[in-house]
Amino acid sequence: MRAIRLENIESPPALRDIDTPRPERGQVTIDVAACGLNFADLLMMKGQYQERPPLPVTLGMEISGTVREIGPDVDGFHVGQRVAAFIGLGGLADVAVCPATRCIALPDTLSMTDAAGFLVAYGTSHLALRHRARLRPGETLVVLGAAGGVGLTAVEIGVQMGARVIAVARGQKKLQVAKDAGAALCLDSDKTDLRKTLKELGGVDVVYDAVGEPMATEALRAMRPEGRFLAIGFAGGQVPQFPANILLVKNLTVIGLYWGGYLNFAPEALTGSLAELLDWHGQGRLTPHVSHVLPFDQALDGFEMLRSRKSTGKVVISMRGNA
């Protein structure tokens, strides 16, 4: 079968022919329809991701498709069933293998394309805002990188949770995407004194940061007492180094969120979160935004879109051209 393989961090990934996997105990194989790309894929390609599997590996963290084959001791799934899965590795291939516990059955209302970019982005934002930050109705939420894969879902989910959402992104095109997702206010990061403007707007209760510096510290300094700062990622390349005296004086809390880590110590938190998200989608309360759908042979172009920040929302690779 075809697969996009990372063989070493000195060379770009490449298309290779490898053996088609078979399921072992507790696993299923999936005929992949679509694979969502994530910023974490770029970190893995540079050897900078939290998890560093031995190389070579097949890239691709989240997929949608149909169950191809079921291994021993698997209940609740059948061959031909529409599913999505967070598999961590192996998604950019014709066939993927993963534990059945990482699969969810797809409702008919969710297309394969939207499903391939649903789990990580929406799951991250929902768990961060609901479970970690305890966002309350009427609070002010600032989303940094508001037009990106996770940032845009944070705007949507913040609105659904009753918050006043301020979106921060670069350029009018991206700001319009955030506005369409429900943001009450949109600020251009290239043209705004972020700290000053946020203070003039009354301050901030929760910051959702998928970018890092220099915006992170500016937003932190505009927070109200007992504000919560969510560290989601560092797409800008600079990890924030917050002055502890600011945290102390204003009684602020900095909260880290690594969505995939919950698979290891609290998978039920993910299960409950995704169940609520799928219910919201079924009610029409969430509208996944996929800016680019590319064929399999253009997967590397998709990674470049992420790297250069030319995309909004999600970039999805369609494995068979009909996702």
In a domain, 180, yes or no: yes
**Does residue 219 sit in the same domain as residue 247?**
yes
Q: What is the pLDDT along the chain (323 residues), one digit of tens a residue?
A: 999 999 998 999 999 999 999 999 999 999 999 999 999 999 999 988 888 889 999 999 999 999 999 999 999 999 999 999 999 999 999 999 999 999 999 999 999 999 999 999 999 999 999 999 999 999 999 999 999 999 999 999 999 999 999 999 999 999 999 999 999 999 999 999 999 999 999 999 999 999 999 999 999 999 999 999 999 999 888 899 999 999 999 999 999 999 999 998 999 999 999 999 999 999 999 999 999 999 999 999 999 999 998 899 999 999 976 55
In a domain, 284, yes or no: no
pLDDT score for 321: 63
**Does residue 43 sit in the same domain as residue 134?**
no
Q: Which helix (H) or strand (E) holds 308?
A: helix 299-308
Alpha-carbon gap, residue 233 to 242, rounded angstroms = 15
**Residue 76 phi, psi dihedral angles, 5° rounding:** 90, 0
The pTM for the full model equals 0.94
Domain that holds residue 77: 2-118+289-318
Identify whether the C-beta of residue 58 lies closer than 8 Å to the C-beta of residue 32.
no
In a domain, 178, yes or no: yes
CATH number of the domain where residue 199 is located: 3.40.50.720
Q: Are strands 140-144 and 204-209 parallel, antiparallel or unpaired?
A: parallel
**Does residue 90 sit in the same domain as residue 144?**
no
In a domain, 283, yes or no: no
In a domain, 170, yes or no: yes
Most distant CA atoms of the chain, gap in Å: 60
In a domain, 146, yes or no: yes
Q: Are strands 103-105 and 140-144 parallel, antiparallel or unpaired?
A: unpaired
Alpha-carbon gap, residue 130 to 46, rounded angstroms = 32
- Residue 120: which of 41, 209, 9 has the closest Cα? 41
**Does residue 308 sit in the same domain as residue 179?**
no
In a domain, 8, yes or no: yes
**Does residue 102 sit in the same domain as residue 168?**
no
Distances (CA, A) of 168 to 133, 165, 193, 292, 317: 19, 10, 11, 21, 27
Alpha-carbon gap, residue 37 to 322, rounded angstroms = 17
- Strand-pairing partners, residue 12, are none
In a domain, 216, yes or no: yes
Distances (CA, A) of 95 to 33, 89, 242, 318: 9, 12, 44, 13
Amino acid identity, residue 180? D
DSSP-derived secondary structure letter, 296 = G
**Does residue 6 sit in the same domain as residue 78?**
yes
Cis bond leading into 240, ω under 30°? Answer: no
Condensed to tens digits (0 to 9), the pLDDT of residues 199-224 reads: 999 999 999 999 999 999 999 999 99
pLDDT score for 320: 77
**Does residue 28 sit in the same domain as residue 134?**
no
Give all strands of the β-sheet with 223-231 in edge-to-edge order.
185-188, 164-169, 140-144, 204-209, 223-231, 253-256
**Does residue 125 sit in the same domain as residue 252?**
yes
**Does residue 77 sit in the same domain as residue 102?**
yes
pLDDT score for 323: 52
**Does residue 135 sit in the same domain as residue 247?**
yes
Alpha-carbon gap, residue 47 to 203, rounded angstroms = 38
pLDDT score for 49: 86
CATH number of the domain where residue 305 is located: 3.90.180.10
Identify whether the C-beta of residue 170 lies closer than 8 Å to the C-beta of residue 154.
no
The number of domains in the chain is: 2
Helix, strand, coil shares of the chain as percentages rounded to 5? Answer: 30, 30, 40
Degrees to nearest 5, angle at CA 103 with 100 and 105: 120
**Residue 62 phi, psi dihedral angles, 5° rounding:** -140, 140
**Does residue 181 sit in the same domain as residue 311?**
no
**Does residue 89 sit in the same domain as residue 159?**
no
Condensed to tens digits (0 to 9), the pLDDT of residues 161-190 reads: 999 999 999 999 999 999 999 999 999 999
